[in-house]
Amino acid sequence: MGAYIVTASATRPHSGGSVAQAQFARAMEAAKKAMTALTRWVDIVDHGVARSLTITRRGVGPILNDYGSFSEFVFDIDDGWKEYHVLVKARLTDGLDPVFRATEPILIRIDSGCQTGQMFGNQTCECKQQLDLAMANLQNASQGLIIHIPAQDGRGLGLPFKLSTLGLQAQLGLDPVEAATALAGGDGIDSRSYSGAIGILKFFGVSEKIGLKLMTNNPKKTVGFQENGYTVTGLVPIVIPPSKHTARHLLAKQKALGHLNLVSAGTVSGAE
């Protein structure tokens, strides 16, 4: 039915027909370009080691949500995490590259996947609320992006691992760090890396001369940007007030993982 209507409208012999046909042709051309794979190779530094990444843009499209209008990009990167979803606030060129002005900093959030919280609303973490706050901040900023990495669920150890830690928390009363440490058995509880996020900046052609403001409570996330020549001009806190379900989670991240200002002294004594 839709194809028939378009064909009939495009062939009507009135003066507006050729205009409608041209608009349809341009829209189709743009849509096909947006879903055509585009691969670029970029050089990055990862923990002091120089390496090259193959980055393929798989798709681009407009997103309208409760916070504003953005462009979503989907990428494949050969860094072990594979799929990246990037929400961008910036004007796009005809080639679908965002244009970031050099006169003001770019607001950036690296967002690890959290299926339990962001998709299913698990109340023992604040991941969904953090993403919501990051999108609100992005809309209020002049330019920026949120880089979402689905495979980094469970701090990179995977969804099955995280589900098991939730089981330990529920059954034994452990906090998230205690549960993850018990399950990992000394292998470390955070395997995430952020070289792909650096690669996306380079894919977009972001100059090292443009300052970056990171939406994070974890100051360790600045290291990867700095060793690739970018200047982090400031941290924007993504702090969610604790609830009765998240207080121990936030306290564990603050005390054991070095996250900043997640809970107040009163909350700490209450949670303990």
Catalytically active residues, by annotation: 190, 192
Q: With contact defined as beta carbons under 8 Å apart, do 125 and 114 qualify?
A: yes
| Neighbouring C-alpha atoms within 13 Å toward the C-beta of 223 | 9
- Alpha carbon distance 147, 221 (integer Å): 13
Q: With contact defined as beta carbons under 8 Å apart, do 94 and 33 qualify?
A: no
Both tokens of 213, joined, read: 């403001």
CA–chain centroid gap for 14, Å, is: 48
- Alpha carbon distance 229, 207 (integer Å): 9
Comparing C-alpha atoms, which of 38, 131, 20 is closest to residue 76?
Answer: 38
Comparing C-alpha atoms, which of 230, 234, 77, 242 is closest to residue 147?
Answer: 77
User: Taking the alpha carbons of 6, 7, 8, 10 in that order, is the dihedral positive or negative?
Assistant: positive
- Alpha carbon distance 125, 262 (integer Å): 12
Residues 6+ apart with CB under 8 A from 160: none
- Nearest 5 degrees, angle CA 209-CA 68-CA 23? 90
Both tokens of 29, joined, read: 């051309």
CA–chain centroid gap for 239, Å, is: 17
